Amino acid sequence: MLKKAKLVVVAVLCLTVMAALTGCGEQGAQQGVDNNVRQLSGNITAVGSTAMQPLMEQAAAEFMAKNPNARIVVQGGGSGTGLTQVAQGAADIGNSDIFAEEKAGIDATRLTDHQICVVGMAAVANPAITVDNLTKQQLIDIFTGKTTNWKSVGGPDQKIVLVNRPKASGTRATFKKYALGGAEEATGIEEDSSGTVLKIIKETPGAIGYLALSYLDGSLKVINLDGVAPTKENITTGKYAVWAYMHSYTRVNPAGVADTFLKYMMSDDVQKTIVPELGYIPEVEMKIVRDVNGNIKNK
């Protein structure tokens, strides 16, 4: 009987130990998942499009709050700079308003395109300008220097001051292609940053330029083009043509922080919250698609 009792005690103890080990294993597995999230670490740099910069900066801040060991540095410089730096390996992500195929000197076959969203772009003027609408030809005449006074297009007797982005800017390339029909712009004030463009137009009498809708804060006169306003509805349906895809390019299929961050950019946290809040349009809401040559077709 004593032997049997000992055997029973040993059996119970074994079962208890096994149960405890199983519990620890499950807890360890769960901790392993959490630890993987906490241990995501590394530094990456995203450079390029200033039209895309507000989105990248806010998304990066929220991503780093969730992943404190990861660091993402977001810089502007223009789409051309973003494409060049990622192609050369100087940046992990190159942000661009234009397709890589549109940038001279870039081998697009060596880059991977991650299309994040869409943004519209509009002609904007100093708030004292009373002109609400311009035809495409009137806009072309203004930006090519043929029209030099607002009075010629129904505005005040005020000299027109052109404010441009540099040639490396994807916003400039998009505006030139779709708003100006490819016409070469006249010389004017030239600024690297969209934020600086906004400030100069706001403070300079007679100024006109162009900005991504993500920068508009109600302080400038937004000008309709051929009677069509640069609204989300008009962009998604193809009525308003001046818009661009926001691209994040990488040299290869990314890994580590870059991969996780780009996946985060396509998550509901970004696409359903940050993207619309900042004036961008989730690509899933577009009823049309546009290829690298500017050809449009319905989805």
Report yes or no: 44 and 61 within 8 Å, Cβ to Cβ: no
**Quick one: three-class SS letters along 146-169?**
CCCEHHHHCCCCCECEEEECCCCC
Q: Are both 85 and 145 inside the same structural domain? A: no
The pLDDT tens digits along the chain (299 residues) read: 434 444 333 343 333 433 443 443 433 333 323 344 457 999 999 999 999 999 999 999 999 999 999 999 999 999 999 999 999 999 999 999 999 999 999 999 999 999 999 999 999 999 999 999 999 999 999 999 999 999 999 999 999 999 999 988 999 999 999 999 999 999 999 998 999 999 999 999 999 999 999 999 999 999 999 999 999 999 999 999 999 999 999 998 899 999 999 999 999 999 999 999 999 999 999 999 999 999 999 98
Q: What SS3 state is found at 46?
A: strand
Residue 4 in any domain: the answer is no
Residue 208 in any domain: the answer is yes
Q: Which two tokens stand for residue 37?
A: 């999230």
Q: Which two tokens stand for residue 60?
A: 């990066």
Residue 14 in any domain: the answer is no
Across 200-252, the runs of DSSP E, i.e. the strands, are 207-212, 221-225, 243-250
CATH number at residue 60: 3.40.190.10
Residue 72 in any domain: the answer is yes
Which domain does 89 fall in, by range? 42-118+245-298
Residue 1 in any domain: the answer is no
The gap from C-alpha 90 to its chain's centroid, in whole angstroms, comes to 19
Report yes or no: 296 and 79 within 8 Å, Cβ to Cβ: no
